[in-house]
Amino acid sequence: MSKHDPRRARIAIIGAGWWSTQTHLPTLLANPYAEIVGIADLNADKLRAAGSAYNINSLYTDYRAMLDAEKPDGVIVATNHLAHFDASREALVRGMAVLVEKPMVLRAVEARALQALAEQHSAHLMVGYPWHFTPQHRELRELIAAGRIGQLQMVSTLYASMVVEFLRGNPQSYQSVFNYPVTGPTAATYSDPRIAGGGQGVLQVTHAAALLLWLTGLKPVSVSAFMERHDLRVDLCDAITVRFDNDAIGTIASTGNIARIQTDNQRLDYRLFGTEGYAMLEVIEGTASVYTNDGAIQRLPLTPPDNRYPAECTSQHLVDLVLGRTTVNQSPASVGVRTVELLEASYRSATEGRVIRVDEL
């Protein structure tokens, strides 16, 4: 294919850190329908390292200059959490499709503003949640939407993950686990609340909450939460209770304190109870089952180990949306907005010691 072949989506990347160099850049380079037209990062050393590693010469320390010069079809925003809003906004006002990494942003008002901008400029806006692309999860979502377990009444999620050293500011502790092909997170990326916006909540609960909301279609109305930092500057353990728009209630519990030596014991479990039955999903193990009140049991096909966290799917999906190869956004802004609403309400509840209504945000 030639450089300007219309069958190739021209993609620019804002942020040359860990996730861009580990996932987005190699995924796009392997995609025959994509062309990387530029990378931007304020850190010139990280920028040069990423360009050198992947043989990309269009490097910018000003992402606005990159957007104006390269005029990409789509933009991946993979900066620190605090910078997501401004970078995404700049791309959307130019009519460019955007994939913004999770958490979408840190404030509900910002999330809603980005969704409104995307609608105003008829631009695709998706959030980087890989679990929305697992076939098993899509099938479970369709079964729930079709009423297989009736109206949801109670949902429960537990996420126990191995991220405590990130939250402690010691990312090199995980070098042997994640490999960091070019550069890993900085010490402050996930441990400094001024940059990250929080700890376990914005780093991991965002995944668990987004998948819950995407699977069920539920919308949070009010939230009560406890969060504990223990010896960290950011939250390590979170316990969140939610009332949803259909009067269902739910809990989300999470800790990042699974030790590296116990990586295989990470858990992400869902229990979804409705008027006609219930569903059980164990994401890390790749199993899902639906139990209905007539005694039937439906076991969904096992998700194979290499697809249990399909990280490559988000940037591939951005390319497909840009080229019109698909018209359905599998990780839409609407889910991102509801997730941000839930998270901001959780942090405020934990800080203020009261129930927070989403319409306060």
Q: What element of type H or E holds 228?
A: strand 220-228
What pLDDT does 7 receive? 84
Where in the sequence is the domain holding 225, given as residue range(s)? 132-311+322-360
What's the pTM value of the predicted model, to 2 decimals? 0.96
What pLDDT does 195 receive? 93
What pLDDT does 307 receive? 95
For residue 3, pLDDT over 70 is answered with no
- The verdict on 193 and 340 lying in the same domain is yes
For residue 49, pLDDT over 90 is answered with yes
What pLDDT does 5 receive? 67
CATH number for the domain including 334?
Answer: 3.30.360.10
Boundary-marking domain end, from 83, 100, 129: 129
Boundary-marking domain end, from 99, 129, 159: 129
In a domain, 153, yes or no: yes
Boundary-marking domain end, from 114, 129, 144: 129
Q: What is the pLDDT of residues 13-44, one digit of tens each?
A: 999 999 999 999 999 999 999 999 999 999 99
- The verdict on 168 and 60 lying in the same domain is no
In a domain, 3, yes or no: no
Q: What is the pLDDT of residues 244-276, one digit of tens each?
A: 999 999 999 999 999 998 988 999 999 999 999
Return all residues near 216 (Cβ < 8 A) that are at least 6 apart: 144, 152, 155, 272
In a domain, 222, yes or no: yes
In a domain, 15, yes or no: yes
In a domain, 316, yes or no: no
- The verdict on 136 and 108 lying in the same domain is no
Domains held by the chain: number: 2
Q: What is the pLDDT of residues 301-350, one digit of tens each?
A: 999 999 999 999 999 999 999 999 999 999 999 999 999 999 999 999 99
